[in-house]
Amino acid sequence: AGLSLSLRPSPGPSPSPSRNPSLKGGGGRADVVVIGGALQDLHARYAAASGAGGGVATSHPGSIASSVGGVGRNIAEVLGRLEVPTSFLGAVGADAAGADVLDSLRAAGVGTEHVLEDAALPTARYCAVYDADGQLVTAVADTEVVARCVDAAYLRGDGNDELIRAANVVVVDANVEPLTLDNFGLGLAALDDDDAPWVWWEPTSVDKAIAVVRGAPAFARQLNFLSPNLDELVHMAYALDPGLRDALEAQGLAASLKPAIADALREGEVAAPFLALAKSLRCGLFEPEAEPSNAKERKLERALPQFLVCTCGDAGVVVASWPRGRYTDLEAHVHVKALPAQPIDAVENVSGAGDALVGGTVARLLHAWEENPSLRGTGGAKANFAKSRKAGKALRGSVYDAVAAGMRASEVVLRSEGSVSRALHRSVVVH
């Protein structure tokens, strides 16, 4: 049996005079809590296009660089550089790499007081190989310290649960085990509306994305945002709707699925196959066989919509949103928006670009909430998003604006050599 996460009630912090009192936080507490992986990165890049070697198993000339990384750590550093009060929850080894990870977060202003240092396991490591154009060829990740140490007991211990409860947004990456995430989702579902933070999940990889949507349904249903890339979206949709692949193949769409979506996005349009993927994902997450067991669950499923922020490489981003409740006319309640990317002449590397998108989007959302508190939807306002077209339209507009800001942050990282650029600053996302 899994451990159940219980977020203990605690008195809310007094709002800072410089912050909008309708938002949680202030008083030294974090606006955002990031939970996930903190890694030592090794990046290898071919010196020339011919370095791919035609599949020959041999060494190739190129360059190798070492840095700190990890999806959760990168997002936390991005938020810190964008001047968002942020705390990081995760685990590192009691080694030099772990010390480098913690130093990098502190230098960006991110709180690390709750990070666990384990003497028995090394800090997680990630090794990526890129072609001469900076596109990812393959990668290997060793994240055992995160999987073993960031569990339900850790998330509810040493004040971590109170830190989470006091945040406006919690960002979680898929380096955390599905069982831990499912227990975490059950704990979030038990919170009162005003206490529940918005939750953003970054799937991290295809295998981990599939493991979570299959193994952590309680967590998946609590998400306000999920941000897969197109590969991750395709495989999550196939995992939740086994008949989808056959249906697309019967229509002659399966082989050209991703190029068709990317080409349409470059023209500012959303391709029909994307809508099929989004619908399969949504129905797989929110159409359980049994009706919700109590009124509180029904209320949560009818409340804030869920947003899919799907990154499609250099084509851009597609944003979709849908309600959580049961709808016979679901298609009328699903909204999509194409956000084509601006061309970038010189891409240094793609590692960290998606993390910058998440951090930039969250930073912009928090700014929007300070300007218009009703967008956060605390208390009774949550129901308005499901019932009021005007409120729903305003919320979607704020999310589209925030994702566009996140894309600007991503562009800064694409032009840099590291996973997080020191050129990131608040003016990138808040004009």
Q: Give the DSSP letter string of 10-32.
A: -PPPPPPTTS-TTSS-BTTB-SE
| pLDDT score for 340 | 97
d(CA 96, CA 99): 5
Residues 215 and 178 sit within 8 Å (Cβ to Cβ): yes
> Does residue 414 surpass a pLDDT of 50?
yes
d(CA 224, CA 221): 8
* HEC-encoded secondary structure of 347-369: CCCCCCHHHHHHHHHHHHHHHHH
> Does residue 263 surpass a pLDDT of 50?
yes
| pLDDT score for 295 | 56
Q: Within a 10 A sphere around the Cβ of 140, how many other Cβ atoms? A: 10
| pLDDT score for 352 | 87
Model confidence pLDDT, tens digit, residues 22-64: 455 444 568 999 999 999 988 898 888 654 555 667 888 999 9
> Does residue 20 surpass a pLDDT of 70?
no
State what percent of residues in the chain have pLDDT above 90: 57
Strand arrangement, sheet containing 62-69 = 62-69, 39-46, 124-130, 136-142
State what percent of residues in the chain have pLDDT above 70: 82
Least confident of 13-17, 104-108, 340-344, 379-383: 13-17
Q: Which amino acid is at 146?
A: V
| pLDDT score for 348 | 79
Mean pLDDT of 153-163: 92
d(CA 422, CA 10): 36
| pLDDT score for 144 | 93
The DSSP 8-state label assigned to residue 269 in this structure reads -
The DSSP 8-state label assigned to residue 339 in this structure reads E
Least confident of 145-159, 175-189, 228-242, 284-298: 284-298
Model confidence pLDDT, tens digit, residues 87-103: 999 999 999 999 999 99
Q: Within a 10 A sphere around the Cβ of 214, how many other Cβ atoms? A: 14
Q: Residue 333: which pLDDT band, with cuts at 50, 70 and 90? A: confident
d(CA 15, CA 199): 21
| pLDDT score for 318 | 97
d(CA 398, CA 408): 16
Model confidence pLDDT, tens digit, residues 9-18: 333 333 332 3
Average pLDDT, the chain: 84
Bridge partners of residue 44, in order along the sequence: 64, 129
> Does residue 259 surpass a pLDDT of 90?
yes
Q: Residue 379: which pLDDT band, with cuts at 50, 70 and 90? A: very low
Helix (H, G, I), strand (E, B) or coil at 152: helix
| pLDDT score for 198 | 92
> Does residue 288 surpass a pLDDT of 80?
no
b/e map of 397-408 (b: 16 or more CB within 10 Å)?
A: ebbbbbbbbbbb
d(CA 417, CA 45): 11
> Does residue 316 surpass a pLDDT of 80?
yes
d(CA 4, CA 186): 7
**CA 164 to mean position of chain CA atoms:** 16
Model confidence pLDDT, tens digit, residues 199-221: 999 999 999 999 999 999 999 98
| pLDDT score for 14 | 30
Which among 134-138, 299-303, 393-397, 401-405 has the top mean pLDDT?
401-405
> Does residue 425 surpass a pLDDT of 50?
yes
> Does residue 377 surpass a pLDDT of 80?
no
| pLDDT score for 37 | 94
